[in-house]
Amino acid sequence: MSKDWTPQQHYFADLYMQKEYNSNMREDFINMKISFNGKEEPFYTEEDKVILKKYRELGFLFSRNLLSLYERTKEHPIRRNRLLNEIEVQLNTLIDCNKKNGSHCEFPENVDNILVKWYLGKLDSDFYYNQRNNKAFENYLFNKIMGGK
C-alpha cells in the first residue's frame, strides 16, 4: 500500500496530466459516477458541484471535506464564505509560488500557517493518508468559522 498524495502533490499531478495527456481530472472528478446495485449515479449532487466549483482549488483538493464543512457551518454562511474566500486566495498564492519556484518555494508570511501545513501534508504529524490531513484542516476551519481559535 502506498502513501496518499499531499494536496500539493495532487495539484501538480493534475497539472502534469493536463499538460501531457490533455486530461481534465477536475471535470472528471466533479462529474464522477458510482455504481450502486448495478445502477450508475452521480457521486456529487448538483448542489455539491456548485460548491466545489465556487472554490476551484479547495473544491478539487479538499472536496468531500469542503462539503462536510459546508454542512457543519450552514448556520453561519457569511462567516464561512468569507473565510473560505480568504483561504482560496491564499491557496492560490501557495500554488503560484510553487509554479514559479518549484519545491524551493518560500511561502509568503501572510499565508495562514495551518493552510501551508495542510497543503504540504504536514498538518497531521503522521501523514500517510490524506483523509487525516483533510479532517484536521476541516476541524481547524470549522473552529475559525464558529469563532474559536
Cα–Cα–Cα angle for 100, 66, 29, rounded to 5 degrees: 70
DSSP string, 72-98: HTTT-HHHHHHHHHHHHHHHHHHHHHH
This prediction has a pTM of 0.88
Cα–Cα–Cα angle for 106, 109, 114, rounded to 5 degrees: 95
Q: pLDDT per residue over 82-126, tens digit each?
A: 999 999 999 999 999 888 887 777 888 889 999 999 999 999 877
Q: pLDDT per residue over 18-42, tens digit each?
A: 888 888 778 888 888 888 888 899 9
